[in-house]
Amino acid sequence: MTLQTVAGDVLLGLGVLLVVVAAVGLVRMPDVYNRTNAVAKAGGLGLVLVLLGVVVLSPGPTAVVVLLLAVALQLFTVPIAGLEIGQAARVSGAPFAPGTGTSPGADLPDGEPGRGHDGDR
């Protein structure tokens, strides 16, 4: 076994572990806000680690360019998608889990859950 194989396998293993953690978080978290956070963080980083592991194990120039482009797109889109899902849940009035210390719609202009900043539902 070469150092390259070991490094690639470690990256793949860590990536798969983080994806499993994201899946468990999706099932175990009490509300949509916590679920979105768990999946966006662990799932996004897990996929990046898996892709980097593939780059290490398959270092051809075409594969490296394609996989690094996929990593860059993942790093740019996952946080934005998580934010938008959370905002859509808040605007639609999705309930918060008890004990989170946050009330739905507290930061909205009229204080009503389910009402957007422009007043539309």
Q: What is the pLDDT of residues 10-32, one digit of tens each?
A: 999 999 999 998 899 889 888 88
- Angstrom CA distances, 120 to 30, 32, 106, 117, stand at 28, 22, 17, 8
Per-residue pLDDT at 41: 84
Residue 100 inside a domain? The answer is no
Q: What is the pLDDT of residues 36-94, one digit of tens each?
A: 888 888 878 999 999 999 999 988 899 889 998 998 998 899 989 999 998 999 899 88
CA distance linking residue 45 with residue 71, whole number of Å: 9
- Looking at this protein, which amino acid is placed at residue 30? P
Residue 53 inside a domain? The answer is yes
Per-residue pLDDT at 119: 52
Is the pTM higher than 0.75?
Answer: no
Give the closest residue to 29 by CA, choosing from 112, 92, 103, 86.
86
Per-residue pLDDT at 42: 83
Give φ, ψ of 80 to 5 degrees. -70, -40
Task: Identify the helix (H) or strand (E) that includes residue 23.
Answer: helix 3-28
Residue 85 inside a domain? The answer is yes
Does residue 102 register a pLDDT over 80? Answer: no
Range of the domain at 29: 3-91
Residue 111 inside a domain? The answer is no
Total domains, the chain:
1
Per-residue pLDDT at 44: 85
Does residue 115 register a pLDDT over 90? Answer: no
Residue 68 inside a domain? The answer is yes
Token digits of residue 21:
């953690």
**Cβ contacts of residue 90 below 8 Å, gap of 6+?**
33, 104, 105, 113
Per-residue pLDDT at 114: 55
Per-residue pLDDT at 94: 86
